[in-house]
Amino acid sequence: MDVLALEAKSATVPEPEKKSAPRPKPKPPKKAKRTVFFEVEIVDKKTKEKLLLLDKVEPTATILDIKALFHKSYPKWYPARQSLRLDPKAKCLRDEDVLQTLPVGTTASFYFTDLGPQLTWGTVFLTECAGPLIIYLMFYFRLPFIYSPKYDFTSSKQWVVHLASMCHSFHYIKRILETLFVHRISHGTMPLRNIFKNCGYYWCSAAWMAYYINHPLYTPPYYGQQQVNLGLYIFLFCQVGNFSIHMTLRNLKMPGSKTKKIPYPTKNPFTWIFWLVSCPNYTYEVGSWIGFTVMTQCVPVAFFTLVAFIQMTVWARGKHRSYLKEFRDYPTLRSSILPFIL
What pLDDT is attached to residue 106? 81
166 and 291 both lie in a single domain: yes
Among 103-117, 139-153, 219-233, 290-304, where is mean pLDDT lowest? Answer: 103-117
Which of 116, 136, 153 is the endpoint of a domain?
A: 116
In a domain, 142, yes or no: yes
- Rounded Cα distance between 68 and 75, Å, is 10
109 and 162 both lie in a single domain: no
CA 145 to the chain's CA centroid: 40
The CA–CA distances, whole Å, from 224 to 166, 185, 211, 298 equal 18, 42, 21, 14
In a domain, 90, yes or no: yes
207 and 156 both lie in a single domain: yes
Which DSSP letter does residue 241 get? H
Query: In sequence order, what are the residues at sequence separation of 6 or more whose Cβ sits closer than 8 angstroms to the Cβ of residue 48?
Result: none
Query: In sequence order, what are the residues at sequence separation of 6 or more whose Cβ sits closer than 8 angstroms to the Cβ of residue 258?
Result: 96, 186
In a domain, 292, yes or no: yes
**What range does the domain containing 136 cover?**
119-326
In a domain, 258, yes or no: yes
pLDDT in tens, 59-93: 889 999 999 999 999 999 989 899 999 888 888 88
In a domain, 333, yes or no: no
> Based on the structure, what is the number of domains in the chain?
2
What pLDDT is attached to residue 304? 97
pLDDT in tens, 105-116: 888 889 999 988
- Rounded Cα distance between 29 and 211, Å, is 82
Cβ atoms of 280 and 247 closer than 8 Å: no
Q: What percent of the chain has pLDDT over 90?
A: 62
- Tell me how crowded residue 330 is: count the other CB atoms within 10 A of its CB: 14
Is the pLDDT confidence value at 4 over 60?
no
Among 233-247, 277-291, 321-335, where is mean pLDDT lowest? Answer: 321-335
293 and 305 both lie in a single domain: yes
Query: In sequence order, what are the residues at sequence separation of 6 or more whose Cβ sits closer than 8 angstroms to the Cβ of residue 161?
Result: 140, 213, 214, 218
In a domain, 331, yes or no: no
Is the pLDDT confidence value at 21 over 60?
no
What pLDDT is attached to residue 1? 43
